[in-house]
Amino acid sequence: MAEASTKGKRVALFATCLVDLMRPNVGFAAARLIEDAGYQLEVPEGQTCCGQPAYNGGDRAAAVAAALYTIDVLSGFDYVVLPSGSCAAMISRHYPTLFEKGSANHDRAVALAARTFELTVFLADIAKTELSSSSTIGAITYHDSCSGLRELGIHDQPRKLLSAMEGVTISEMKNPDTCCGFGGTFCIKYPEISSRLAERKASDIVQTGASTLVAGDVGCMLNIEGKLHRQGSDIKVRHVAEILADMVDD
């Protein structure tokens, strides 16, 4: 049976607060990828933060408030796509746990969860995009962000999309799935431990000889990039969307 095409449907891009603040270019790259895949893209007004810091910081009431707010902002779309595994997991895995089963809010959270996807999952598994783009980036190495990998099972999708591009070769690092030490507020609460984890990650990256580190979460990127730069490395750190859209901003 042929699957009905999802093309032409309305997709909301939830940029995430870190993209909004630290890496606007990732938002533009994600938007282009979704549009090029044949969807009607919108960036819903009023979007802010998914509430993950409060949720993981133990402030459940604030997490519930953030979830309710975000559920409103993202209502009425066929799909919600995020260029972040951890924020996508917050919405699709954790929002439903914030409300009592059977309540109207629980139903709404479950409905939103069902149509929310991380960007590479959306492109590879829903849109089934065949990228024909190319890049001059050369050898890259890919870091698996923890939430994306373990909560959403994102592993093959970015690799499949990236390796389909002309001019991109993936050189895997030792332990691509080991945490970089970002961990949201962890990097502020336990900076020394976080830094050690980042050092280990940086050394695994350097050993691949790749000139670019690619990841799917801006949090990990900031941490790894900050450590590499402090060490004097000129390895570039890019979001997977920036490579896929061939939109690198410097």
Partner 1 sequence: MEVTSNQFKQEASKALRNPVLQKALGHIEEGFVEARNQAARRLPEFEQMRDRARDIKAHAIDNLGFYLSQFEDQVIAQGGQVHWAADAQEAREIVAAICLDQGARNIAKSKSMVTEEIELGPYLEAKGLASVETDLGEYIIQLRDEKPSHIIAPIIHLSKEQVSDTFYEHHQKHGYFDKLTERSALVKQARSVLRKSFMNADVGITGANFLVAETGSVVLVTNEGNGDLVTTIPDTHIVVTGIEKVVPTMDDCHTLLRVLVRSATGQDTTSYVSFFTGAKRPGDAAGPSNFHVVLVDNGRSDMVGGVNHDMLRCIRCGACLNHCPVYANIGGHAYGSVYPGPMGAVLTPQLAGVEQAIDLPNASTFCGKCEEVCPVRIPLPSLMRHWREEEFARHLTPKPMRFGLGMWSWLGRQPALYRVVLSMVQRVLGLFAKRGWVKHLPMGTSWTLYRDMKAPKGGSFQQQWRRR
> For binding to partner 1 (CB under 8 A), which residues are involved?
15, 17, 19-24, 26-28, 31, 43, 45-49, 51, 53-60, 62-63, 65-66, 69, 146-147, 149-151, 177-179, 181-198, 200, 222-223, 225-227, 229-230, 250
Give least dist CB 127 to partner 1, A: 21
3-state SS assignment for residue 18: helix
- What is the closest distance, in whole angstroms, from the C-beta atom of residue 81 to partner 1 in the complex? 14
Least Å from the CB of residue 106 to partner 1: 18
Nearer to partner 1, 164 or 199 (CB): 199
Whether 93 and 129 have beta carbons less than 8 Å apart is answered as no
Kind and range of the H or E run holding 29: helix 24-36
* Nearest distance from C-beta of residue 147 to partner 1, angstroms: 7
Q: Which is nearer to partner 1, 43 or 114 (CB)?
A: 43
Which residue, 161 or 187, has its beta carbon nearer to partner 1? 187
Q: How far is CA 73 from CA 42, 44, 185, in A?
A: 12, 7, 25
Residue 207 and residue 134 in contact, taking contact as beta carbons nearer than 8 Å: no
Contact 67, 95 (CB under 8 A): yes
Nearest to 41 by CA among 84, 6, 75, 79: 79
Q: Which is nearer to partner 1, 130 or 192 (CB)?
A: 192
